[in-house]
A and B are shown apart, each in its own frame.
Chain A
Amino acid sequence: MLRFTEDHEWLSLDGDVATVGITAHATEQLGDLVFVELPEVGKELAKGDAAAVVESVKAASDVYAPLDGEVTEVNEAIVETPEKVNEDPQGAGWFFKLKLKDTAAFEALMDEAAYQAHID
């Protein structure tokens, strides 16, 4: 079950580790990505911290930590080929994995229907 933030990130949960990426809607708004900067593995993030940077043909944008946690893995493939994010934003274009401090907070995020209502 996916969860979403108002800043257009998606999360999926496996145990206490959330995989985080940006939504298809976000990639449509950004246009073609040309550069991605990811956080370092082991970094402790608080909800709302700037976690990653994306540069599209238009502008630079921050990707925020959706919840408190520790970065356990990052998707180096999108640093090599940022267009993977445009091609498959909610799959192969994931950004990083976050070991959550509080998995209950995950459930409190928007579900797909709520996110869809948010962007409509």
Chain B
Amino acid sequence: MGRAVTDTQGLRRTPLHALHVELGARMTGFAGYDMPLNYGPGVMKEHVHTRTQAGLFDVSHMGQIEIRARSGRTQEAALALERLVPMDILGLKEGRQRYAFFTNESGGIEDDLMVTNRGDHLFLVVNAACKEADADRLIEGLTECDVTVRTDRALLALQGPRAAEVLGDAVADLKFMDVAEVEIAGHPCLVSRSGYTGEDGFEISVADIGADALAKTLLAHEAVEPIGLGARDSLRLEAGLCLYGSDIDSETSPVEAALEWAIQKSRRSGGARAGGFPGAARILKELDEGASRRRVGLSASGRAPIRAGTPLFASDDSDEAIGTVTSGAFGPTVEAPVAMGYVPADMAEPGTVLSAELRGKRVAAEVAKLPFTPANFKR
């Protein structure tokens, strides 16, 4: 893939790989890439630094894809993409970004992504593990469009309350989910005011050959520290955000996953362009009637985290599992275990006390409102 090379274990490298090693990162395989799990300070400190200062993440493993209608009309590309996602893409204004997901015929989720209207084309950021499948899906499904996978770009995320100060005037006019071409430290960048930590922040697409220099410039700011995948996971979990492959997958529907907020009115029953995406029959029905199970936040009592795969029960004396934890960790900001999982709809009300099995013992797990930490977006 472009400039990325593979190591002896067949893992791909991002354009920032050498920098991670230079910074002393503990590296780990993730979605086929050799990525930083954490740096010297460790996951807890990196997490707290991001929530209080600014954290720099390498997310270059994610896929960056451009879609252009051959007619040259971006409206046509938008309508074409609407055949694969239950979002209002036609109504997405130039310079704006929106959360989306690809669905399948049974109403499950094939991947989640960000879609930007770039004026003369659409720009997508998709998950690393799904990017080849997503490109195939787009090439096959959007026959009236040219689909370009950008393998010559790196993607950095600068997240945290001081991120805007670090980037300065270049991004001062951007609001949450705005996207613009700006120059940062002499590098032409495509910057969105978004991210996956629940904090204010930016995602910065830059030419791969400029990524190392840009990252070093940003790291030179006293507010900025490099942050690994470990803290990225605990940050997104506290923010109540789904990890594809854990909290959502091809078996979970958008309504089960409590993601109906991402489906605009125009694509719902009675809307101007209702349905017309894979799995519409099930998803539209669940939007009206609800789903039998729901993704919820879970707060376990004590300090021990309940992790993915932990079975859930209606009560301590019940032996019949009613659900499963899909993500769980210790939340460094809330200073308590945080988790998400699926439970029957009638047990999904915040405050419902369930029971989780942890190493053969039961602990109370209370259904909690998401996010665990309040979002800090600049709307």
Contact = CB atoms under 8 A, between A and B. Distances in A.
Interface stretch (A5-13, A17-25, A52-60, A65-73): A52-60
B303 A57 contact: no
Nearest to A36: B303
Contacts of A82: 303
Interface stretch (B38-46, B56-64, B257-265): B38-46
Contact of A32 (B44, B302, B304, B307): B44
Interface of B: 38, 42-45, 230, 234, 302-305, 307, 329-330, 332, 359
Contact of A55 (B38, B43, B230, B330): B330
B259 to A, nearest CB: 27
Given A31-B43, A31-B230, A57 B329 contact: yes
Nearest to B335: A34
A37 interface: yes
The 8 closest A-B pairs by CB, nearest first: A34-B330, A57-B43, A32-B44, A35-B304, A35-B303, A32-B42, A32-B43, A55-B304
Q: Name the residue in A53, A55, A59, A86 with the highest tally of chain B Cβ atoms < 10 Å from its Cβ.
A: A55
A31 B42 contact: yes
A34 B338 CA distance: 12
A39 B45 CA distance: 29
Nearest to B233: A57
Contacts of B329: 57
Nearest to A62: B359
A58 to B, nearest CB: 7
B42 to A, nearest CB: 5
B304 A57 contact: no
B359 A57 contact: no
Contacts of A37: 304
A84 to B, nearest CB: 13
A51 to B, nearest CB: 13
A57 B330 contact: yes
Nearest to A82: B303
Nearest to B358: A60
Contacts of B330: 34-35, 55, 57
Report the interface size class on chain A: 10 to 19
A53 B305 contact: no
10 contacts: A31-B42, A31-B43, A31-B230, A34-B305, A37-B304, A57-B44, A58-B230, A59-B307, A83-B44, A86-B42
Interface string A69-99: 0000000000000110010000000000000
B303 A53 contact: no
Contacts of B303: 34-35, 55, 82
Contacts of A58: 43, 230
Contacts of B38: 31
A23 B303 CA distance: 22
Contacts of A34: 44, 303, 305, 330
Nearest to B26: A31
B126 to A, nearest CB: 26
A109 to B, nearest CB: 27
Contacts of B230: 31, 57-58
B88 to A, nearest CB: 38
Contacts of B44: 32, 34, 57, 83
A112 to B, nearest CB: 24
B331 to A, nearest CB: 9
A109 B45 CA distance: 36
B231 to A, nearest CB: 8
A35 B305 contact: yes
B309 to A, nearest CB: 12
A35 B302 CA distance: 9
Contacts of A31: 38, 42-43, 230
Nearest to A29: B26
A58 B43 CA distance: 9
A2 to B, nearest CB: 25
B25 to A, nearest CB: 13
B234 A60 contact: no
A75 to B, nearest CB: 15
Among A55, A57, A83, residue most surrounded by chain B Cβ atoms (within 10 Å): A57
A60 B43 contact: no
Given A83-B44, A86-B42, 14 more contacts: A31-B230, A32-B43, A34-B44, A34-B305, A35-B302, A35-B303, A35-B305, A35-B330, A53-B359, A55-B303, A57-B234, A57-B330, A57-B332, A60-B304
A57 B191 CA distance: 31
